[in-house]
Amino acid sequence: MKIIYGLTGAFALSAVALAASAADELPACENCVDELTIVSWGGAYSNSQIEAYSKPYSALTGVEIINDESSNEAVPKLRAMNEANNVTWDVVDVVASDAIRLCDEGLAMEIDADEQLAAAPDGTPASEDFGDLLVSDCFIPQIVYSTTFGYRTDVEAWGDNTPEDVCAVFDTATFPGKRALEKRPINNMEWALICDGVAKDDVYDVLSTDEGVTQALDKLATIKDDVIWWSAGAETPQLLADGEAVIGSTYNGRLFSVIEEQKQPVAMLWDAQVFDLDGWIIPEGLSEERKNRALHYIKFATDTQRLADQSKYISYGPARKSSAPLVGQHAELGIDMAPHMPTDPANATNTFLYNYEWWADNRDDLDAKFQSWLAQ
């Protein structure tokens, strides 16, 4: 599916006004093409990018932007394009673990953050402003999201109990009912170990051993009969809304829309939320002119103000430290977005740091074991 828009009529005027402040800072792009193909996830997420980044950029530069919603199959498609020597995408939105994979495969271009990305308004270089979130040489972080739990607030069988921590998921005696968990080992294995008494810092050390894997799977086995396994992020909100599941994991933005936009009796359980990142990569193998345009766009779209603007449309936290104070209200609902950010101090009292390097190494192996366990 592709949506093409250019510089037209009223929207262009308003966008120009909106982006007027940025105009002075945006240097012209030298030796660049006038067309840009951006690949993202579609839906509300793509919308937030179009509103916060692409429209102002088009208005300032007159570049025609083509939106392609193929991010969920970006990795195999990029590999196929690379093998066919015909890369048609300029900028691709992927999760961090995919960025690492693409970087390893030589399918994404390496980026020098300080050279090629905008510094913070106070002059802090980009590498410091993004900090630890630059998890790969090819990855330009954009948002922080988290995988966390939502639960129904009207379950009669629970009596007066409300889930307070993540281990409620494993407590089927106090909190009976179906759970929705993602059909992959990532996150589930970590939560299982944490709730089996493993200290947060030791999780990956334990998981590196065969005994640790068995321990995690055994813990998951205690609730296996009560789990509905999902593979698309939209499933959990639906299962919760239908009452088919009483507690389930998904991306925090999905839960935000179930709770705030659709007003379902669902609440967030931020405990042990697992931070993950989403951001841009530029494919390897672009012509010089296209590469320049892609870099020019990226520098604009990941500056402090643009990242803060995006959070008006979706409840994901901006990846720059300098953007956090600029987060405002939801563009349509008019509610403050800060309390809905996974990075908000009140929500982030107990978070779990996802180890990209470890999963890049062990994902295939653990996935085989996990799937084999599921099939038993």
Q: Is 355 an interacting residue with respect to other proteins (CB under 8 A)?
A: no
Using CB under 8 A, which of the segments 189-197, 198-206, 242-250, 257-265 binds other proteins? 242-250
In sequence order, the β-bridge partners of residue 93 are: 280
Helix (H) or strand (E) holding 66: strand 64-68
Closest CA to 179 of 222, 212, 218: 222
Closest CA to 218 of 355, 376, 362: 376
Q: Which residue type sits at 89? A: W
The residue from 7, 69, 79, 121 that contacts other proteins (CB under 8 A) is: 79
Q: Is 234 an interacting residue with respect to other proteins (CB under 8 A)?
A: no
Please identify, using beta-carbon distances, which residue of 35 and 110 lies nearer to other proteins.
110
Using CB under 8 A, which of the segments 1-9, 11-19, 225-233, 250-258 binds other proteins? 225-233
In sequence order, the 6+-apart residues with CB closer than 8 A to the CB of 153 are 162, 265, 266, 267
Q: What value, to the nearest 5°, has the Cα angle with vertex 86 and ends 82 and 92?
A: 65
Please identify, using beta-carbon distances, which residue of 108 and 117 lies nearer to other proteins.
108
Using CB under 8 A, which of the segments 39-47, 98-106, 199-207, 342-350 binds other proteins? 98-106
Using CB under 8 A, which of the segments 5-13, 323-331, 333-341, 353-361 binds other proteins? 353-361
Task: Lay out the site mask for other proteins across 47-76 (x = CB under 8 A, - = otherwise).
Answer: --------------------------x-xx
Please identify, using beta-carbon distances, which residue of 75 and 133 lies nearer to other proteins.
75
Q: Is 84 an interacting residue with respect to other proteins (CB under 8 A)?
A: no
Say if residues 66 and 38 touch (Cβ distance below 8 Å). Answer: yes
Please identify, using beta-carbon distances, which residue of 139 and 270 lies nearer to other proteins.
139
Q: Furthest-apart CA pair in the chain: how many Å?
A: 66
Q: Is 164 an interacting residue with respect to other proteins (CB under 8 A)?
A: no
Q: Which residue type sits at 173? A: A
Say if residues 74 and 108 touch (Cβ distance below 8 Å). Answer: no
Tokens of 158: 């629970």
Say if residues 168 and 175 touch (Cβ distance below 8 Å). Answer: yes
Q: Is 43 an interacting residue with respect to other proteins (CB under 8 A)?
A: no
Please identify, using beta-carbon distances, which residue of 121 and 243 lies nearer to other proteins.
243
Q: Is 81 an interacting residue with respect to other proteins (CB under 8 A)?
A: no
Tokens of 263: 């007003």
Say if residues 127 and 114 touch (Cβ distance below 8 Å). Answer: yes
Report the interface residues with other proteins, using CB under 8 A.
73, 75-76, 79, 101, 103-106, 110, 178, 183, 214, 217, 228-229, 231, 242-244, 357, 360-365, 367-369, 371-375
